[in-house]
Amino acid sequence: MYNIFQPILSVDQAMNAEIDTYEMLIRNNNGEFPGINFLHSLTTQEGNDAWIKASRKSLKNALNEQQNRKIYINLEPCQMKFESIWQFLAEIREAYHDHVAIEITERRETIHSLDYLDREIQRLKEMGFELAIDDVCAGSNSYAFIKRQLKVVSRIKLSLLLFKDEDYELMISFVNAWLAFAEKHHLTFVIEGISNRQLAKKFAGNPVILQQGFYWGKGTAHFNSKEKVN
């Protein structure tokens, strides 16, 4: 397994895109998300040790080269029961400060108490991390959960892939509802799954919205000397 870095972009009305941040994503030898076996491995100490090793190497390569990048790493809630994870997070916070932020994923099958996750998210905030909630309205990242985290999170993400079986108008209705929520609570709103120019243009020009998806580039494992959009 290895990591790629997918750009998250601010796009103006003229479709000029500027990289805001990156999301660090894990991939297998086929260039795909490793799947359920990988997720299961994160419930074990061995699996987390492997994740830490890969993440440490990737962050070092990405941030030692250019310190002004900001990278979001995905954290599965089941990982937060391991002390080694907290040691790693303290390490990268000390090394990279605000250049590393955290996305809380929607998968919480192994967590039986929602209060537990509330406490752990507060702990992340107290360490100084900027926090995002990934894939709102998917899995366990419900409206009620996000509402409880408003004092500690600064951005939310909505994936258009959730609505691939719905018509365009209904998808836009969901986007507009979450956009209104983000604007009311002063959250940055990332729309994932931007797969074509029509979608990119639809959401261009709104300063609250950032875009992410294959249309803008699926990500890079090795940065060039000059930042690129695609």
The answer to whether residues 209 and 18 touch, using CB atoms and an 8 Å cutoff, is: no
Report how far residue 108's alpha carbon sits from residue 208's, in angstroms, rounded to the nearest whole number: 28
68 confidence band (pLDDT: 50, 70, 90): confident
226 confidence band (pLDDT: 50, 70, 90): very low
Q: At what angle do helices 83-96 and 45-65 cross, to 10 degrees?
A: 0
Phi-psi sector, 207: left (phi>0), alpha (psi -120 to 50), beta:
alpha
pLDDT digit string, tens, across residues 71-94:
999 999 999 999 999 999 999 999
Q: What's the pLDDT score for residue 198? A: 94
Report how far residue 5's alpha carbon sits from residue 190's, in angstroms, rounded to the nearest whole number: 16
Find the range with the poorest average confidence among 16-20, 25-29, 31-35, 144-148: 31-35
Q: What's the pLDDT score for residue 28? A: 87
pLDDT digit string, tens, across residues 98-150:
999 999 998 765 555 667 788 899 999 999 999 999 999 888 888 998 999 99
* Integer angstrom CA distances of residue 86 from 12, 59, 80, 120: 38, 16, 7, 10
The pTM score is: 0.91
> In 3-state terms, what secondary structure has residue 145?
helix
User: Which domains are assigned to the chain?
Assistant: 2-212 (3.20.20.450)
For 36-68, the DSSP string reads: HHHHHHTTSHHHHHHHHHHHHHHHHHHHHH-TT
Q: What's the pLDDT score for residue 223? A: 60
The answer to whether residues 22 and 224 touch, using CB atoms and an 8 Å cutoff, is: no
